[in-house]
Amino acid sequence: MTSKQFGKLSDGREVTLYTLQNKKNATVALSNLGAALVSVIVPDKSGVLADVLLGHENAQGYVDDNSYLGFIVGRYGNRIAKGRFSLGGKTYQLGINDGENHLHGGKDGFHRKLWDATINTKSPFDSVTMHCVSPDGEEGYPGKVLLDVTYTWNDNNELTIEYRGTTDALTVLNPTSHGYFNLTGDPRNTILGHELMIAARQYTPAGPGRIPTGKLQNVDGTPLDFRSPKRISDGINDPFEQLQSAKGYDHNWVLNDFDKTVHRAATVHDPKSGRFMEVLTDQPGLQFYTGNFLDGSLKGKGGIAYQYRSGLCLEAQYFPDSPNKPQFPSVVLKPGETYRQTTKYRFSTTD
Ligand code: GLA
């Protein structure tokens, strides 16, 4: 574990970059600004290490970022319709930052916070726990929320992200990790040649503003069927209305067998480099997003412009707009309860 200065905020506070290295010399780096995952450097089938995560070179890049590269987003990952919901007989109005809706916790969500970090080098594998405090009323949400996110990097090239949250008043909580992956190790390539599997028979179709209609739809016979591994390019330009309206994949899949234990939710394979990524989670949903809003205007590490489809996100979460959809699994958190999430990104190679 090493740490170094990653830059400063305009108010003078220092931002730190933490690097965890395992016995295989593979590394992940994290920043306490937005508790962001900054890099994931893993081998290809010949053992060549490369960074498979889009990100920025310094804290300023994260300050200026509007694409949520690598951030922990919250309090609510994804959208809440019109930023409004009712809970315990009261109606709450959240900040609006995506058309007429609330997205990823609002403009000053968790991704804008400088989190406190605790380093743990005593367990078998090094980890960093990031702590954040979200005061009552922040972005319109009720209750003071405390959230800890622990990143652990083990010798199997497995990154575990564990969340623990509490509140002092009835609220909703649904944070997620917004990493953009490109397993080629060079984000000048697109992710279109990656083969994807998502363990889901259903998804939540979206209507205007990418808000779920509330229905669950079978993936069968649609380009959203990833039950068997399939190249992303195979279906992404299909005239299917759900893809056309999103300019690609940007949907929430209903993961099979949700029972709050950790299951394999998705796999991604880059046949050329042989890199293979598994996503395991205890969450009921997975947002698969193909970087449809990247347009080359955002420059990241190495000055590389992030073009359309240069990264893909697999965001483990509860379903978008659940506070307004009583038929979806509940995101309500009560005082005395603990919000928990475990999500793992495991890297290996094939020949
Ligand atoms: C999520 C959303 C997308 C987009 C990105 C961030 O994945 O589903 O619609 O907002 O975040 O750009």
| Most informative mutation of 78, 96, 251, 308 for ligand 1 (most atoms within 8 A of CB) | 78
Q: What are phi and psi of 119, to 5 degrees?
A: -95, 135
Reduce the DSSP state of residue 43 to 3 states and report it.
strand
Measured in whole angstroms, how far is the alpha carbon of residue 184 from the centre of its chain? 19
Residue nearest to atom 1 of ligand 1 (CA): 78
Ligand 1 mean position to 313 CA, how many Å? 9
Asked if residue 84 has a cis previous peptide bond (ω within 30° of 0), the answer is: no
- Cα 186 to ligand 1 centre (Å): 22
Atom of ligand 1 nearest to the CA of 293: 12
State in Å: Cα 52 to ligand 1 middle: 19
Residue nearest to atom 5 of ligand 1 (CA): 67
- Where are any strands of DSSP class E within 9-126? 14-21, 27-31, 36-43, 49-51, 72-73, 79-80, 84-87, 90-93, 102-103, 116-120
Burial zone of 9 (CB within 10 Å; 0-12 exposed, 13-18 middle, 19+ buried): middle
Q: How many C-beta atoms lie closer than 10 Å to residue 256's C-beta?
A: 15
Q: Give backbone dihedrals phi and psi of 110, rounded to 5 degrees, phi first.
A: -55, -30
Q: Atom 11, ligand 1: which residue's CA is nearest?
A: 78
- Pull the structure tokens for residue 77: 């990952």
- Tell the burial category of 137 from Cβ atoms under 10 Å away from its Cβ (0-12, 13-18, 19+): exposed
Could you tell me if the CB of 180 is within 6 A of ligand 1? no
Model-level pTM?
A: 0.98
Question: What integer pLDDT is reported at residue 123 of this predicted model?
Answer: 87
E strands along 156-208, which residues?
Answer: 158-167, 171-172, 176-177, 195-198, 200-204
For residues 221 and 227, what is the distance between their CA atoms, to the nearest angstrom? 11
CA 95 to chain centroid: 20
With a CB cutoff of 8 Å and minimum separation 6, the contacts of 146 are 131, 132, 133, 134, 165, 166, 167
Q: Indicate which residues carry an active-site annotation.
A: 178, 315
Pick the atom of ligand 1 nearest to 104's CA.
Answer: 11
**Cα separation values, 2 from 36, 96, 120, Å:** 16, 38, 12
Q: What is the pLDDT along the chain (351 residues), one digit of tens a residue?
A: 999 999 999 999 999 999 999 999 999 999 999 999 999 999 999 999 999 999 999 999 999 999 999 999 999 999 999 999 999 999 999 999 999 999 999 999 999 999 999 999 988 999 999 999 999 999 999 999 999 999 999 999 999 999 999 999 999 999 999 999 999 999 999 999 999 999 999 999 999 999 999 999 999 999 999 999 999 999 999 999 999 999 999 999 999 999 999 999 999 999 999 999 999 999 999 999 999 999 999 999 999 999 999 999 999 999 999 999 999 999 999 999 999 999 999 999 999
Index of the ligand 1 atom closest to the CA of residue 98: 10
Q: Is the CB of 67 under 6 A from ligand 1?
A: yes
